[in-house]
Structure 1
Amino acid sequence: YVNSVPIVSSPPAQCLTVLVYLGLVLVILPRYMANRQPYQLKSFIHVYNVSQIVMNIWMFYTYMDMVKYQPLQVWHHICQPISAANNGADHSLYLKMCNMSYLYCLNKSMDLVETIIFCLKKKQSQVTFLHVYHHVMMKLASCFSLFLFCRAEMSGTMAALNSLVHTVMYTYYFLANLGPSVRKYLWWKSHLTKLQIIQLLTILTLLVKFQMEDCKQPYFVAIWLFIIGSI
């Protein structure tokens, strides 16, 4: 399956993408924008945010469909939550899992555009080390999911939870980009950070149980699951 899908089938291509991204946002675009007025990009940002919302909703829906809309059952079948929900994994379920993983990788590639937008709007102060580190790690970690997801089904749970949180975040970004007339109603902005903290605590709790249940997965898989689900 991995060799049959475009973009993510070559690990060197992933590294090249990251290098191009770093070159653009740290060197090329800051120099290009040095003596230019910031671009507004309002329509483009609208399209970008809507695309993110749709893609993240679809990934979350795909996962919910695979676990038969019983996400809480993950707790009772922590090692193989998707297989347990379907009384075993056949080839079609395997392809669904890999397709979701592929889409998640593409989505994290799409996330890199956010930094380019910051640069073109001359908001270089937002291109912090933590911001760039976040996108680079998620780009690489998510594409590794294409290789690990079907062996560690819990990664699907982490990706789905991450997609749900990102749906809420990009919905806020979309509404905020509509202007002051809408922005004043976004009283729930302060709760976004709380939502991210809840995500992190949920993932930590699931990973503790994942390790306690002796799921016969290498220790590094648990670390990888933490990275892909919480960053």
Structure 2
Amino acid sequence: MLQGIREMGLHAMDIYDYLVGGFDPRLKDYVLMQSPIHMSTILLCYLFFVLYLGPRLMANRKPFQLKEAMIVYNFLLVALSIFIVYEFMMSGWVTTYNWRCDPVDTSNSPEALRMVRVAWLFWFSKIIELMDTIFFVLRKKHGQITFLHIFHHSFMPWTWWWGICYAPGGMGSFHAMVNSSVHIIMYFYYFLAAAGPRFQKFLWWKKYMTAIQLIQFVLVSLHATQYYFMDSCDYQFPMILHLIWIYGTFFFVLFSNFWIQAYVKGKRLPKQDIKQSQNGSAVHSNGKHHENGKGTNYGASNGTNSSAHHENGSAHVSKMKKA
């Protein structure tokens, strides 16, 4: 038995050496790129904190406000996303790429090295964005820590680490550029939301932000789909394109479900969205939405307590019946 375990261990090491041996040597001096162990450890610690340790630590504590920290954090991510999009464009997407079959430039030319740098920076921005969930935990916004949120924040940096190890650039980097473009809009929204109530009137476009996310996944999947209809393409890592297509399609389904639940069925609308009537004639009282004489209960999101609203509304109706 010991011999069998030893042989399995040696076989696993051979697979590991094979995988690591194919890494792009231009990334060897970048932070956290020497081994997948460091990156995986960070993500496991993230999952442990947001799913177990964080909620237990905050169970008997008041939520932190963190207003100033969130304003700075979101502003910096807007600036970082703008820089990443610019670097992707100047590294090939508006200079030498044809937006169809673009192989990875494996040379040490200034443009190729620039693409390597921005590919790593995009991946590292995903590590920074883990703070999104940390803020939710510390502010006790448990309603926002959904499966979609956690899966997206943990799965994407893990897969992209392997992606840039083998293919830092080429047509596989299209979705990174598109994703960073969307994050400019998304974190600008979060920046305004964190700035306080006086900016709430500028947040009417939240619904359209979800639509932009859906458009992102359509563009990513369509761009990857080109590969299957080309007579020939010398992109070196087609497996990455297969994963990108699956990723874009899978997240399109998840975000579409979110759209339906939030904006069609109204189950996840926050209070400020509930207060925006479709025809401007809605009246709100005790957590209920009255439109044309009909009341509809909406589940809360963003950490609001829908049950409290329901109880207030029920108590009000009960008192009216007694009267």
Same fold (TM over 0.5): yes
User: In structure 2, do the counterparts of structure 1 residues 58 and 167 end up closer, same or farther at CA, with 3 Å as the change threshold?
Assistant: same
> What is the one-letter code of the residue matched to 1:184?
K
1:79 aligned to 85, 96, 101, which one? 101
User: Over aligned residues, Cα RMSD in angstroms?
Assistant: 2.3
> What is the one-letter code of the residue matched to 2:241?
A
Name which of structure 1's ranges 32-41 and 127-136 shifts more when overlaid on structure 2. 127-136
Q: Deviations over 1:46-79 (max 9, x none)?
A: 11101211111111000121236369x644xx12
User: In structure 2, do the counterparts of structure 1 residues 209 and 177 end up closer, same or farther at CA, with 3 Å as the change threshold?
Assistant: same
Matched, 1:118 2:136: yes
User: In structure 2, do the counterparts of structure 1 residues 82 and 164 end up closer, same or farther at CA, with 3 Å as the change threshold?
Assistant: farther
How far 1:145 moved relative to its partner? 2.8
**Is the contact made by 2:91 and 2:112 (CA closer than 8 Å) also made in structure 1?**
no
Which runs of 5 or more structure 2 residues have no equivalent in the other structure? 1-25, 252-323
**Is the contact made by 2:92 and 2:111 (CA closer than 8 Å) also made in structure 1?**
no
Residue equivalent to 1:222: 241
User: In structure 2, do the counterparts of structure 1 residues 192 and 225 end up closer, same or farther at CA, with 3 Å as the change threshold?
Assistant: same
Residue equivalent to 1:185: 202
TM-score (norm 1): 0.87
> Which structure has the greater CA radius of gyration?
2
Residue equivalent to 2:38: 13
User: In structure 2, do the counterparts of structure 1 residues 138 and 161 end up closer, same or farther at CA, with 3 Å as the change threshold?
Assistant: same
Mapped to 1, the partners of 2:167 and 2:104 lie a distance apart of 11
How far 1:81 moved relative to its partner? 7.1
Mapped to 1, the partners of 2:181 and 2:136 lie a distance apart of 24
How far 1:228 moved relative to its partner? 6.7
TM-score (norm 2): 0.64
Mapped to 2, the partners of 1:144 and 1:14 lie a distance apart of 10
Which runs of 5 or more structure 1 residues have no equivalent in the other structure? none
Q: Deviations over 1:140-196 (max 9, x none)?
A: 02212321333x611222111110001110011101111221111222222111111
Mapped to 1, the partners of 2:238 and 2:174 lie a distance apart of 18
Mapped to 1, the partners of 2:206 and 2:28 lie a distance apart of 42
User: In structure 2, do the counterparts of structure 1 residues 68 and 6 end up closer, same or farther at CA, with 3 Å as the change threshold?
Assistant: closer
How far 1:34 moved relative to its partner? 0.4
Mapped to 1, the partners of 2:182 and 2:30 lie a distance apart of 27
**Is the contact made by 1:59 and 1:104 (CA closer than 8 Å) also made in structure 2?**
yes
User: In structure 2, do the counterparts of structure 1 residues 3 and 70 end up closer, same or farther at CA, with 3 Å as the change threshold?
Assistant: closer
User: In structure 2, do the counterparts of structure 1 residues 196 and 126 end up closer, same or farther at CA, with 3 Å as the change threshold?
Assistant: same
Identity %: 33
Q: Per chain length, whose mean CA-contact separation is higher, i.e. which structure has more relative contact order (CA < 8 Å, sep 6+)?
A: 1
User: In structure 2, do the counterparts of structure 1 residues 47 and 11 end up closer, same or farther at CA, with 3 Å as the change threshold?
Assistant: same
Matched, 1:204 2:221: yes
Mapped to 2, the partners of 1:66 and 1:228 lie a distance apart of 24
How far 1:226 moved relative to its partner? 3.4
Q: Deviations over 1:85-141 (max 9, x none)?
A: xxx965222211110111011100011111110000011222122211111111102
